[in-house]
Amino acid sequence: MPELIEKVAPTSYMTSKCTTTSNVGLYNHIRGFPVSNGETGVLSPKVRAFIEQSVMLCQPEQIHICDGSNREYNMLLRLLYSQGTITPLPKYENCWLARTNPADVARVESKTFICTPHREDSIPTAKENVEGKLGNWISEKDMEAAMFNRFPGCMRGRTMYVVPFSMGPVGSSLSKIGIEITDSAYVVCSMRIMTRMGRAVLNLLRDNSDFVRCLHSVGTPASGKIEQPSWPCDPERTIILHKPASNEIVSYGSGYGGNSLLGKKCFALRIGSTIAKKEGWLAEHMLILGITNPEGEKRYIAAAFPSACGKTNLAMLTPSLPGYKVECIGDDIAWMKYDEKGQLRAINPENGFFGVAPGTSDQTNPNAMKTIFKNTLFTNVASTSDGGVYWEGMENTLTDNISVTDWLGKPWIPGVSKTPAAHPNSRFCTPAEQCPIIDKDWESPDGVPISAILFGGRRPAGVPLVYEAFSWQHGIFVGATMRSEATAAAEHKGKIIMNDPFAMRPFFGYNFGSYLKHWLTMEARANARGAQPPKIFHVNWFRKDANGKFLWPGYGENIRVLEWILKRINNEPCYEKTPIGYIPSENSLNTAQLKKDINIDELFSIPKVFWLKEADDIKQYFDEQVGGDLPAEIAHELNELKKRIGYSE
């Protein structure tokens, strides 16, 4: 039983509010703190202990145990409205807009830590005098100190919500349970959309089984002054801590997305990847889609692209090619495990989409547009005078009689205002079941069979539209060497090209070198069951021409790339070998009815000078960032790549 919170709360804080220890009021108090909602009688000893410890540490005004009902959701929306956190969007059905404190708009990777006994359990050993970029480690002592400096009394005057949630369908053998304790009603409402939340989950825990302990507070600045009472936060002291050994997550200071909806990146990826390593499966930053070809053959594909690089869009793609059908299982996270036949199967552990708003339109992602205009919480988008939302990409929805208010609440004039109307990381939080192309098996407890894994990113130069890895091991090298332009999803500024292996750089729960070794074992796991692992591909929708224009139209046209991938899954000989992998052979990528000015040759060119430099950069990255933790197989793949591109030292 983890005792971290108990340890952090010194005895002086451990005094309960009520002076009597009798059972009087057992059903409406926990350690003397009033319970405003929920029965305490159904709490298992472990759940009760977690609440008791958190209550005594955080000293809330009252405790609300969430049941997940509509009544509760509506009550919390009313509360958020009365506090000025959200405003209604009367143009749509049950949609709301939250404007955050402008200092709390994205994940904060520099303040995210993994706590293990030894640094090398969490992160690779970077070269001397080089800043490690593959995660941050914190010692147990420092984690305790960080908590002690922030949490005692942090919920005074606030309600503490207890949010029992399931990642994956309630009761599925692939699902995992967590409890998030938070002082943010916005977080509760978002968790209700993004996870299966409420009484059914508490009931599952009645056998006193374990769960992931998630403690969250939006915090209060050390000065005591809350800048924006409608969005309390403490950006200066924001910290996100994970302790895989005891399945604990502690997050302080931010109410935004991946910082505060702890089921998502913290649990499903960081803690999830450590559990997956132990249990022999994979927890990945991947969308899952189903694709049916005109002959009626259906395959499922998983794809890892870094944050804000196109997962939601690909997961809901509207094919431009006739006869194809795409269905969506998930847009952000995949948990994948082999079945007894050696078939990799994936579930989406989430229940909703927390998707990037800007760029979403009837032209780019019509299925998202059909999903998000009911029961949706928007954050940091712009609003319109007719009670709707607006963001970059929705230009053609504006008419002369409609005025726009930007994400900061200021008037915004199209063509005149110099700043974006919506924050580039503004998001919609919407129920997955509302997606018109949600797959009929999206909640299947057994998951769906995965036939191919895609890696990709924003590569403005040098990287072709698609290539196939030569082998599983080469595919892991391709994942390990992924790079992409930075986006607004985290605090990085500018469009620098960053390494983002497996699109997991901000989300590894353990040493990246061990992660690669774990991936390498997945081939033998399939072989041991008489099967092969899925084929691996790399895609790049973002290559640009000399004028900085995208070479590829992307979005619905990406079906052409998926079609070629389907043919390769069926082992059609529609490829040619290049130094970096297999690309479509002449005429095997369907370009019928594509706009004439698309330069396919440039899209697929593999410039030697570029790849020589890329190989150098990869070598430097591995040497500086991964060092002795790099598996020999991956170092070997780099040497093989160098040989193929004609590298001489």
Give the footprint of ligand GTP on this chain (CB under 6 A): 305, 307-313, 331-332, 355-356, 358-359, 364, 489, 541-542, 550, 554-555, 558
Query: Which of ligand SPV, Mn ion, ligand GTP, none lies near 73, with the C-beta cut-off 5 to 8 A by kind?
Result: none
Residue 187 phi/psi, 5° resolution?
-65, -40
- Could you tell me the two tokens for 576? 């040619």
In 10 A of CB 173, how many CB atoms?
9
Query: Which of ligand SPV, Mn ion, ligand GTP, none lies near 350, with the C-beta cut-off 5 to 8 A by kind?
Result: none
- Smallest gap from Cβ 313 to ligand GTP, in A, equals 4
With b for 16 or more beta-carbon neighbours within 10 A and e for fewer, the 274-302 pattern comes to bbbbeeebbbbbbbbbbbbbeeeebbbbb
The nearer residue to ligand SPV, 506 or 584, going by C-beta atoms, is 506
- Smallest gap from Cβ 309 to ligand GTP, in A, equals 5
CA 474/CA 478 separation, integer angstroms = 6
Query: Which of Mn ion, ligand SPV, ligand GTP, none lies near 258, with the C-beta cut-off 5 to 8 A by kind?
Result: ligand SPV
CA 434/CA 374 separation, integer angstroms = 8
Query: Which of Mn ion, ligand GTP, ligand SPV, none lies near 331, with the C-beta cut-off 5 to 8 A by kind?
Result: ligand GTP
Query: Which of Mn ion, ligand SPV, ligand GTP, none lies near 567, with the C-beta cut-off 5 to 8 A by kind?
Result: none
- Smallest gap from Cβ 444 to ligand SPV, in A, equals 23
Q: Residues 172, 351: contact at Cβ < 8 Å?
A: no
**Which residues lie below 8 Å from residue 57, measured CB to CB, with a gap of 6+?**
5, 8, 9, 13, 151, 152
- Could you tell me the two tokens for 170? 């309630």
CA distances from 284 to 76, 271, 505 (A): 32, 11, 11
Q: Residues 288, 348: contact at Cβ < 8 Å?
A: yes
The nearer residue to ligand GTP, 354 or 472, going by C-beta atoms, is 354
- Smallest gap from Cβ 285 to Mn ion, in A, equals 6
- Smallest gap from Cβ 356 to ligand GTP, in A, equals 3
**Phi-psi label, residue 72: left if phi above 0, alpha if psi -120 to 50, beta otherwise:** alpha
- Smallest gap from Cβ 305 to ligand GTP, in A, equals 5
Interacting residue ranges for Mn ion, rule: CB under 5 A: 307, 332
- Smallest gap from Cβ 574 to ligand GTP, in A, equals 22
The nearer residue to ligand SPV, 202 or 482, going by C-beta atoms, is 482
Closest chain position to Mn ion (CB): 332
Residues in the chain: 649
Query: Which of ligand SPV, ligand GTP, Mn ion, none lies near 550, with the C-beta cut-off 5 to 8 A by kind?
Result: ligand GTP
CA dihedral sign of residues 28, 29, 34, 39: negative
- Smallest gap from Cβ 307 to Mn ion, in A, equals 5
309 among known catalytic residues: yes
Set 309, 328, 429, 435: catalytic member = 309
H or E element: which one contains 517? helix 512-527
The nearer residue to ligand GTP, 305 or 512, going by C-beta atoms, is 305
Query: Which of Mn ion, ligand GTP, ligand SPV, none lies near 133, with the C-beta cut-off 5 to 8 A by kind?
Result: none
CA distances from 8 to 335, 370, 446, 491 (A): 33, 47, 40, 29
Burial class (CB in 10 A: 0-12, 13-18, 19+), 131: exposed
CA 395/CA 250 separation, integer angstroms = 40
The nearer residue to Mn ion, 307 or 367, going by C-beta atoms, is 307
Question: Which residues pair with residue 196 across a beta bridge?
Answer: 166
The helix/strand/coil state of 112 is strand
Interacting residue ranges for ligand SPV, rule: CB under 6 A: 107, 257-258, 264-265, 307, 332, 354, 489
CA 301/CA 311 separation, integer angstroms = 12
Please measure the distance between the N-terminal and C-terminal CA atoms of the chain and give it in whole angstroms. 55
Helices (H), 252-310: 257-260, 272-279
Query: Which of ligand SPV, Mn ion, ligand GTP, none lies near 265, with the C-beta cut-off 5 to 8 A by kind?
Result: ligand SPV
The nearer residue to Mn ion, 483 or 642, going by C-beta atoms, is 483
**Which residues lie below 8 Å from residue 4, measured CB to CB, with a gap of 6+?**
143, 144, 147, 243, 246, 248, 250
- Smallest gap from Cβ 471 to ligand GTP, in A, equals 26
The nearer residue to ligand GTP, 132 or 456, going by C-beta atoms, is 456
Query: Which of Mn ion, ligand GTP, ligand SPV, none lies near 107, with the C-beta cut-off 5 to 8 A by kind?
Result: ligand SPV
- Could you tell me the two tokens for 134? 């593959």
Q: Using only C-alpha atoms, what is the Rg of the chain? A: 25
CA 60/CA 329 separation, integer angstroms = 38
Q: Which amino acid is at 451?
A: S
Which residues are known to be catalytic? Answer: 309
